[in-house]
């Protein structure tokens, strides 16, 4: 698997993984060598850890602890990309106080993770002026705040898992367009109620929640990388109403879109003061 080392220090490293495994490729067991959190950028794959199965789509996170055995499967989509963070034990302790709180799991694409992930992705691409190490630490902190509320994925048939994954990738590809539950259900060949229940069971979020989070991720990337107005960013990301965008973004990131842009541009004074405002924490 091609791997690019983007950053490395005693505290953490950041790597870009590109997997080209074909559909139905034979899986094999692997083991986490440290504290790992990998953000899915594109594609989709299955993640089996300690008897639990997770389907990971763009915006979801694969996490592991040292010594945990895991297996990745490719039953639905060919190819995926991830940004993987590898943290030293001392770094995890500094972030959370107790390394036991770092759980191995597949975490659904929450709103906060999508926004923090966009900031991490922009830094990895060399866009904006926020250092990659800073973005990685902010993302790690946001990941840790999400894990305690995460739920285990229920048992679902392979066919239904495929339907949910394909539905998520459709939403991700068309997030800037008007989409509703009926359109996704029709594409999956299900009634809206069955589609909603299936999507939530497999991916841990509803179709509308995932649509909103895809739009927030796109908006965060535009804020971090480009100089267009907040209004233009909102509409380009698929929001039909500016006030709804600002309200949704503030809820996800803990700060306004304008303040997020300042942080993404690496204003050190702002980043030092940000924890009081719950920025990505």
pLDDT of residue 234: 95
The larger pLDDT score, comparing residue 152 to residue 85, is at: 85
- Rounded CA-CA distance 89/206 in Å is 34
pLDDT in tens, 10-27: 999 999 999 888 777 788
pLDDT of residue 254: 86
C-alpha triplet 209, 182, 231: angle, nearest 5° = 50
CB 110 within 8 A of CB 88: no
Q: What is the CA radius of gyration of the chain?
A: 18
For 69, list phi and psi in degrees, rounded to 5.
-85, 140
pLDDT class of 279 with cuts at 50, 70, 90? very low
- Rounded CA-CA distance 167/221 in Å is 23
pLDDT class of 153 with cuts at 50, 70, 90? low
pLDDT of residue 272: 45
pLDDT of residue 277: 39
Give this prediction's pTM. 0.80
Question: 110 Cβ partners below 8 Å, 6+ apart?
Answer: 146, 205, 213
SS3 category, 7: strand
SS3 category, 54: strand
């Amino acid at each position: 698997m091609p791997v690019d080392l983007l950053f490395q220090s005693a505290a953490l490293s950041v790597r870009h993984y590109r997997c080209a495994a074909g559909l139905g490729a034979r899986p094999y067991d692997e083991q986490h060598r440290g504290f790992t959190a990998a953000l899915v950028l594109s594609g989709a794959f299955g993640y089996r850890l300690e008897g639990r199965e997770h389907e990971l789509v763009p915006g979801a996170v694969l996490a592991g602890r040292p010594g945990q055995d895991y297996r990745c499967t490719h039953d639905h989509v060919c190819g995926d990309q991830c940004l993987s963070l590898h943290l030293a034990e001392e770094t995890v302790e500094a972030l959370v106080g107790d390394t036991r709180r770092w759980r191995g799991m597949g975490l659904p694409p929450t709103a906060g993770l999508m926004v923090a992930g966009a900031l991490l992705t922009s830094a990895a691409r060399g866009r904006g002026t926020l250092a990659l190490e800073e973005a990685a630490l902010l993302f790690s902190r946001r990941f840790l705040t999400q894990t305690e509320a995460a739920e285990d994925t229920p048992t679902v048939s392979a066919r239904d898992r495929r339907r949910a994954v394909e539905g998520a990738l459709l939403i991700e590809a068309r997030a800037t367009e008007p989409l509703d539950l009926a359109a996704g259900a029709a594409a999956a060949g299900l009634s809206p109620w069955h589609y909603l229940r299936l999507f939530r069971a497999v991916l841990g979020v509803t179709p509308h929640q995932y649509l909103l989070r895809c739009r927030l991720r796109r908006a965060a990337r535009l804020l971090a990388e480009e100089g267009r107005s907040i209004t233009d960013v909102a509409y380009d990301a698929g929001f039909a109403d500016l006030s709804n965008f600002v309200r949704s973004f503030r809820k996800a990131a803990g700060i306004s879109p304008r303040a997020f842009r300042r942080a993404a541009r690496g204003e050190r004074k702002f980043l030092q003061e940000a924890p009081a405002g719950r920025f990505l924490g």
